[in-house]
Amino acid sequence: MEDKKSIKYWSMSSDKVLEELNLTTDGLSSEDAKLRLQKYGENSIKDKKKTSGLILFLSQFKNPIIIILIIATLISAATGEWIDALIILAIVLGSAILSFFQEYSASNAIEKLRAKVQAKTIVLRDGKLIEIPSIKVVPGDIIKLSAGSLIPADGLILESLDFFVNQSVLTGESLPSEKESGIVAKDASMEERINCVFMGTNVHSGSATVMVIETGSDTEFGEIAKKLTLRPPETDFESGVRHFGYLLTKIMLILTLTVFAINVIFKRPPIDSLLFSVALAVGITPQLLPAIISITLSMGSRSMAKAGVIVRRLNAIENFGSMDVLCTDKTGTLTEGTIRLDGAMDFEGQSSDDVFRLAYINAKLQIGMTNSLDQTIIDAKDIDISNVKKQGEIAFDFTRKRLSVIVQDDNKTKMIVKGAFSSVLDICNSVQTRETQKSIDDTTLAKIQKSYADWSNQGIRVLGIAEKIITLKEKYVVEDEKDMVFMGFLLLFDHPKADVSKTIVELENKGVSLRIITGDNRLVATHTAQSVGLKVSGILTGSELMKLSDEALLNKIETTNLFAEVDPNQKERIIMTLKKRGHVVGYMGDGINDVPALYASDVSISVDNAVDVAKESADFVLMENSLKVLNNGIQLGRTTFSNTLKYILVTTSANFGNMFSMAGASLFLPFLPLLPKQILMINFLTDFPAINIARDSVDSEILEKPRRWDIGFIKRFMITFGLISSVFDYLTFTILFVGFKAQHGIFQSSWFVFSILTELLILLIMRTQKPFYKSKPAPILIYSVAIVGAITLILPYVRPINKILDIEPIRPLILIALFGIIVMYIITTETAKHYFYKSKWRDNNVNRKNKRIL
């Protein structure tokens, strides 16, 4: 494979390419594949190297404010204040190490979870077909593709059968492209290379054997990726964090420049003033936010994994917490997913071996799409069809909803069609009775449709079986499916799950409404919905959807929770309409027909045994096809979302109040209220409890409804409780400076202790919307608060640490005064919290149409 880049393989015969590249159709040996993997690397367009620990550690210092602080500290050291400079650098380094270890651990855990649901490919190795992770595919591999396969690499088709590929991700073409072996011109464009497949596309129907030529970054998809920054769409939460970051940046810049300028005007040392100003900016920043988000999402993903939900895209967890509509097919989710064959019936409704034999031949010989339904037919009864020779196939697609095989049977060439009842009946003009064939008149049609309706009303899925004698020819097309003879019915049944009714109620109690979107007929779908306890508020079929304008559907979508007989594009349309109504929509699907809807949804969910393209499109993969597992995942997603917001609310309000107070105090005090190293030590000590918010418990009331990011709410929260904090800060300043005549040593020591204790206690108060004594924090949060609180109280009395930090022992009377202020602060904050949330819920009730409830 040394010169694979130099040949235009699409313009050569497959035999010539095999010869040029020294390959055979027997595939590679395991040893050869191992050597090629070492040479070409893993089959991925992403960076093959994991982010190293060093790079992750250095990224902790990428905050511009931290960089400015380090530069200012170095300047301070150069001017002789090297001891203070070393102390500040040590504190900054300690914070970085704390954040690094948490993120590094989270990153490793995430990688292990993602490996559980990676895409697989069937390859020919050592002369045998085996399944391997797609990232292990190498140039020279012979791979087998079928409907639903995600194409893992660029390659040349060696042989194919009714092979159609969806390559819209590369070409923009919405319709599948037919692919077949052959030769095209050297200068053929990507769209014109009908003998090639490309990485990132997927198989719509049919099957093929392909020789892999290019992998990873060398593929057409990889070449495009090199020119583009491939980034998934920004989630609602990410957008909120970004805008909130802009707000904090503005506050930091104004605060830093103003305080620095005033201190210089008051002729205070410039370096000290700069360090103080920058330390204030660091203090107001929720600098652990990236780490908290990473840790919280990582812990959420690990908890979800234990509950049977593998998270493929971490940022989607926030959307999981916001989801208020869940759309799903019924098979395997509401039902057991184990289809049982109830019988093969003729036109008269009598059991028929002939009808079963036709269904068996169709299921056994088709190779266009591997599916459980055909396997059910094959497993029902073993029939000897060794004398039947297959001559062709018209692959299944989700528009026709039927599959045809052409066979040589009893010296006759027959087309046997199996598919959705109405789809098969539409192409029939006669029916097989016990004695003869006769045309389908109104009476006959009514009898056929009555049988279908009776079975469907019992929840039985009905397929149609048809055949006709045809002339043998080289290729058959969809247009040949006409003038068929209706042979009979195939009856299939899938029992509803026993616990699904309870789960649907639990979802409704959590504010998540269920919509069923299925390709099955409305009678079966209605029966299944009713049997699992879903109250059907409205039904729309695919044919009715086609007649509805977008505006009409927008009005009708809220009162409709059952969609039947829909195709993949209609599923996508339903999802998009729900999103236009302001819902956060989840979609659960496992087939190639679900891919458009998975892409359109806010929260895409698949299952472990889904087709590759569905799993690759999904944000979450369920290890068990169950609404119960999904229900647990929603609760964990909301817990993760809640703890992330909890950190933002607590730290921004506390930091805003403290730093605003110190900035103001520096204007009238004859000394700095805190030294830069003391400010940074406060941040360092309070980081330990703050980082454990990721592990905190969440009140059950918070988990009852979907939650969404609301930057306006966070601003109001920050200003309200920040100002309350500032009022008590200035009260403390007054008592210390005026009442106790405290000078810089005692003042700074007292304020150092007061700041940490109030931030720790506010953390416990503001972590819940209930009175703090009615909500139990996680044990690790209580322990970390208690330990840091104890350390804070003894620091002023411990040598030489108190000398290093320039803090002094605090007189008992001052401590008593500080504790008195803290008690008043707690009571005031608790009271304000009660009225703040009371007014918030009142506002939400007034505007019920607003789904962005926090």
Residue 591: enclosing H or E segment and its boundaries?
Answer: none
Do the Cβ atoms of 177 and 197 come closer than 8 Å? no
Exposed / middle / buried, residue 22 (Cβ in 10 Å: 0-12, 13-18, 19+): exposed
Tell me whether the omega of the peptide bond preceding residue 176 falls within 30 degrees of 0, making it cis: no
Mean predicted confidence (pLDDT) in 627-653? 79
Q: What pLDDT is recorded for position 590? A: 77
Task: Give per-residue pLDDT as tens, 400-411.
Answer: 889 999 999 988
Higher pLDDT, 373 or 611: 373
Mean predicted confidence (pLDDT) in 380-393? 91
- Of 184, 177, 174, nearest to 208 by C-alpha is 177
∠ CA(360), CA(365), CA(366), 5° rounding?
Answer: 105
Phi then psi for residue 277, to 5 deg, are -65, -45
What's the pLDDT band for 847 if we cut at 50, 70, 90? very low
Mean predicted confidence (pLDDT) in 494-506? 79
Q: What pLDDT is recorded for position 53? A: 67
Do the Cβ atoms of 517 and 573 come closer than 8 Å? no
- Of 851, 545, 548, 521, nearest to 710 by C-alpha is 851
Retrieve residue 144's tokens: 């087998």
Q: What pLDDT is recorded for position 230? A: 44
Of the residues 84, 154, 162, 329, only one is catalytic, namely: 329
Q: Count CA atoms within 13 Å of residue 87 on its CB side.
A: 20
- Cα–chain-centroid distance for residue 643? 18
Retrieve residue 572's tokens: 């996508």
pTM of the full predicted structure?
Answer: 0.68
Strands 461-469, 484-493: pairing kind: antiparallel
Q: What pLDDT is recorded for position 30? A: 92
Residue 640 CB contacts under 8 Å (≥ 6 apart), including other chains = 296, 297, 299, 300, 303, 317, 318, 321
Residue 236 CB contacts under 8 Å (≥ 6 apart), including other chains = 318, 319, 322, 584, 708, 709
Domain 244-296+649-840 has CATH 1.20.1110.10: yes
How far apart are alpha carbons 557 and 817 in whole angstroms?
Answer: 62
Residue 17: enclosing H or E segment and its boundaries?
Answer: helix 14-20
User: Residue 371 pLDDT > 70, yes or no?
Assistant: yes
* DSSP code at position 738: I
Residue 342 CB contacts under 8 Å (≥ 6 apart), including other chains = 460, 491, 492, 493
- Of 709, 515, 525, nearest to 601 by C-alpha is 515
Percent of the chain with pLDDT over 90: 33
- Least confident residue range of 222-226, 418-422, 495-499, 725-729: 222-226
How far apart are alpha carbons 825 and 371 in whole angstroms?
Answer: 65
Do the Cβ atoms of 575 and 325 come closer than 8 Å? no
Q: Euclidean distance between the first and final Cα of the chain, in Å? A: 57
Q: Which residue has the tokens 């200035």?
A: 730
User: Residue 702 pLDDT > 60, yes or no?
Assistant: yes
Q: What pLDDT is recorded for position 83? A: 64
How far apart are alpha carbons 97 and 709 in whole angstroms?
Answer: 30
What's the pLDDT band for 116 if we cut at 50, 70, 90? low
CA distances from 18 to 136, 211, 537 (A): 21, 9, 60
- As assigned by CATH, the class of the 340-493 domain is alpha beta
* DSSP code at position 737: I
Exposed / middle / buried, residue 847 (Cβ in 10 Å: 0-12, 13-18, 19+): exposed
257, 260, 265, 267 alpha-carbon torsion, rounded to 10°: -170
Domain 4-43+137-227 has CATH 2.70.150.10: yes
For all residues of the chain together, what is the average pLDDT? 82
For residue 224, count other CB atoms closer than 10 A to its CB. Answer: 14
Concatenate the DSSP letters of all residues of 341-385 into one string. EEEEEETTS-B-HHHHHHHHHHHHH--S---HHHHHHHHH-----
Residue 730 CB contacts under 8 Å (≥ 6 apart), including other chains = 661, 664, 665
Do the Cβ atoms of 619 and 605 come closer than 8 Å? yes
What's the pLDDT band for 447 if we cut at 50, 70, 90? very high
- Least confident residue range of 7-11, 111-115, 426-430, 747-751: 111-115
Q: What pLDDT is recorded for position 692? A: 84
How far apart are alpha carbons 491 and 539 in whole angstroms?
Answer: 24
Residue 279 pairs in a beta bridge with none
User: Residue 2 pLDDT > 50, yes or no?
Assistant: no
Q: What pLDDT is recorded for position 462? A: 93
- The residue ranges of every structural domain in the chain are 4-43+137-227, 244-296+649-840, 309-336+497-623, 340-493
How far apart are alpha carbons 147 and 134 in whole angstroms?
Answer: 16
Q: What pLDDT is recorded for position 257? A: 79
* DSSP code at position 181: S
Q: Has 329 been annotated as catalytic?
A: yes
Mean predicted confidence (pLDDT) in 538-552? 91
For residue 832, count other CB atoms closer than 10 A to its CB. Answer: 14
Task: Give per-residue pLDDT as tens, 3-50.
Answer: 555 578 899 988 888 888 888 888 899 999 999 999 988 888 765 445
- Of 140, 166, 163, nearest to 153 by C-alpha is 140
What is the helix, strand, coil percentage profile of the chain, to 5? 55, 15, 30
- As assigned by CATH, the class of the 309-336+497-623 domain is alpha beta
How far apart are alpha carbons 334 and 562 in whole angstroms?
Answer: 13
